[in-house]
Structure 1
């Protein structure tokens, strides 16, 4: 009891300090209060989901995403124009009949990802379940009682399935939504064990964040956006006052961290990326980019592609974001609009990917170029980018260098240099990937890489064994780069046997 009181006292003090020191910009969206730019994004999403002349039944195909269609129903109810309600009811009836409700299976409580080629994704409990909670809370007056009843049945199954799965607090975006799903359903429907599990998970997430003031799923242009949605759900719809206050405190602190790692001149976050589907938010749709676009409310400042392109389906998150609303410190909002000053950043990340339990992040932010690095990861996963350099080229494009999360290297940066080391697995080679428009093989010499808008000084005794142009059709599949680009080269270095891992393999010095 004493520990609980101390924890609550700390929480309330932390929340008070956040609110006392930050002037908060908050906005609860309605369709009528959307700005012209916000409305444009929203209507473009709806037009993509329901093309002109199409019937709602025509878009509910066996291959479409049930998650995006749940958000489509949510969006139609949010707008509530002529026939929107009727279309949403058709969608919801279709969604609600496609949940696995057998308690004796591992997939209990999930919804199908699609009717055909179902991936049996356990995260669909949280994704669809949380959107159904929003629909139940905000739009039940627009829906027939039998739909509301089926929604309630569905979210109860989802919460029970989430309870059985018990995702760990370091699975950041899913654990935050799971805590909300269980606390909400458990409270609303008198399921004490599930409610308490949700509350405990929320406390564990909060405690883990406080350990190093970071989330474990660190610096993801996509999943940071989901994390903000989850914290918005805590703030707006959780029953527990404790979860509401934890959500507000985490949300404000998380905006600080996000804006520290955002360069508005390049309209990107630097690496390293613990999870990423691309290298340039101007060329693929990332959910964090959507949050920033809505916050700055200016197409010229928004880190979104100028037209529909890779990962456009992530724009379905507009529905959820509009319904949880925006709450951001005004100082952080200003940092999203203009670059303030160069800064060097170091972070310790509590992360359970294979490798060190605490992983080291270093990053350097300059107005026209930036770089970041990860030390201590051995997990082989294409979504991880352990070293990155981004810069703006003379024509305004964003070019970059990247080392992939292949478990071969450790990377660190100083204010002026990136150093790449071999880890203790003793690899015999490693690769560096470079993108710039009109890039040719001749740009890469042993001591200098002459790239558009950037000279990279190369200090190494290693031999370059291959310089290969990468087929862009393999980018997403092999490297989790969704950007539609050409001009990527892979540079392969040979590592001699019994290399001294205390010595850097390569030192890269950007010269803008």
Structure 2
């Protein structure tokens, strides 16, 4: 017999708002408080968009990236949870159909590294064949065990009466297999990168293992979840920051998974003991870095899928939507038109958890999402072993119309722990432009060690291991519709005055990366101008550049 609920701590129970489920139409519409209305709005809008992609005959969503009418698994599971939350017409029936399809596509060979994972799409060939070799994060993605697994748990916890018992039994079997498969993951082995510092999948892994172990009375599985969680907590407690620091996308995933720690795990678990605190501390950090005037979290960003949260869709922005409303959040009126739009598919999960999650945010952090509190400096750090030789030291100066943030680091990889220079932004500035849009610049990661100094209007960068071949590539936003189309110097950059000093060659190069031409491709769907500074030939000095930045 599978119990329908887990015991919850007295603290968690006191924080839990009534579960808004049942057979009546649109159960999420019943509460009148403002936060609930915003969560309802997110649910309605994300589900209306996903409805357009749903193939009811197949029981899957079509690919959100419009891949020739193929389907996709992960977003389908998120949509299924949204169908249960909405519960109109045959929504529950369609949700069960999707769940059964997702389970049928789970990998069942226990000897495979991808055992317990889920197909990326049902039309794909068999992973591991000669014609379709296993390539981690490509032909199969180990993190999907966590994404689909946590979604199954959410459905079982929030909507058990809407799911037939035989489907619930298969969901539990699927979760059991996913948990075993996730235990195969060891950072540094078989190209896997799951360390405790890989915050978002690590938090999901710990939760699913601990939850499934308790449900199935498997002590080893329960203990494994606790072990994973303790490793994550130890890293977090060093500075009350996530190792995967300040990511619009992945801080959102980590907060989603930590909400499950806080809501569904009791005080016998370190997850139940620490989840609410970690959510509150994470929001305190994010709130201190958030500029409500620019609707952006100041840099640096460990992993970003864009350079302006108003133009690319981030999961964190969906959570901010439920806290301050859509108009005040970094969300376009048409979210599906933004860059990285596919993440709008997780909207139903964020909406379902928002009534609980939003009770865990301090008044100070919430206030900072509404109104900029005044010019201030943030000093903190984050640590991602085995990549960092010491914690990354972070400084951000945040004023009403200009933010400058950067981190000093020494790592054994280029591009941060994700090894991706396109998403690792170790030095960032953003500024307000006259038309209300945001300008930005970011340092393109090319080195394993960087020293920074951030002060009022100042960004200073140096490469301790650099030489006369080193370059500083500063990627700069294209101008607004009202600005100059062509940029040849800093004088052509809209809304900001930049003065450059240091031992770099003052003769810099400006090139363009665009959608249809230029020096190279866009990065994360953003066009940009590349201001490149080199060193004087034969220089023996440590490469250093100092930018004095003023908003015009």
Please indicate the TM-score interval, normalised by the length of the shorter structure: 0.7 to 0.9
Q: What is the distance in 1 between the residues matched to 2:16 and 2:496? A: 40
Question: Greater helix share, 1 or 2?
Answer: 1
RMSD over aligned Cα, in angstroms?
2.8
Change beyond 3 A, Cα 1:190–1:466: same
The total of aligned residue pairs comes to 485
Q: Which residue of 2 aligns with 1:321?
A: 350
Is the 2:444–2:472 Cα contact (8 Å) retained in structure 1? no
- 2:420 matches 1:383: no
- 2:459 matches 1:414: no
Unmatched 5+ stretches in structure 2: 1-8, 21-27, 63-68, 125-137, 187-193
Q: What is the distance in 2 between the residues matched to 1:305 and 1:452? A: 22
Q: Which residue of 1 aligns with 2:173?
A: 153
Q: How does 1:91-490 map to 2 (within 5 A)?
A: 91-116=98-123, 119-166=139-186, 167-239=194-266, 240-296=268-324, 298-307=325-334, 308-309=336-337, 310-324=339-353, 325-326=356-357, 327=359, 328-352=361-385, 354=387, 356-376=389-409, 377=411, 378-380=413-415, 381=420, 382-407=422-447, 410=450, 411-426=452-467, 427-435=469-477, 436-437=479-480, 438-441=483-486, 444=489, 449-460=491-502, 461-472=504-515, 480-483=523-526, 488-490=528-530
Deviation string 1:294-333 (CA, Å, 9 cap, x unpaired) is 111x232111122122222212222222333323122221
Deviation string 1:430-483 (CA, Å, 9 cap, x unpaired) is 311111323455551xxx5453221112224414352112113699x9664335
Q: What is the distance in 1 between the residues matched to 2:224 and 2:550? A: 49
Q: Which residue of 2 aligns with 1:32?
A: 29
Deviation string 1:144-192 (CA, Å, 9 cap, x unpaired) is 2221111011000011112221532111111111110110011111221
Is the 2:380–2:394 Cα contact (8 Å) retained in structure 1? yes
- 2:83 matches 1:76: yes
CA offset at residue 499 of structure 1?
4.1
- 2:525 matches 1:492: no
CA offset at residue 29 of structure 1?
6.9
Q: What is the distance in 2 between the residues matched to 1:93 and 1:330? A: 42
CA offset at residue 89 of structure 1?
1.4
CA offset at residue 116 of structure 1?
4.1
Q: What is the distance in 1 between the residues matched to 2:457 and 2:18? A: 43
Q: What is the distance in 2 between the residues matched to 1:71 and 1:233? A: 15
Change beyond 3 A, Cα 1:253–1:189: same
Q: What is the distance in 1 between the residues matched to 2:17 and 2:494? A: 41
Is the 1:389–1:402 Cα contact (8 Å) retained in structure 2? yes
Find the residue that maps to 1:180 and give its secondary structure: helix
Change beyond 3 A, Cα 1:131–1:458: same
Q: What is the distance in 1 between the residues matched to 2:285 and 2:534? A: 37
CA offset at residue 241 of structure 1?
4.4
Deviation string 1:97-155 (CA, Å, 9 cap, x unpaired) is 01112111111111112234563100011110010011122222112222111101100
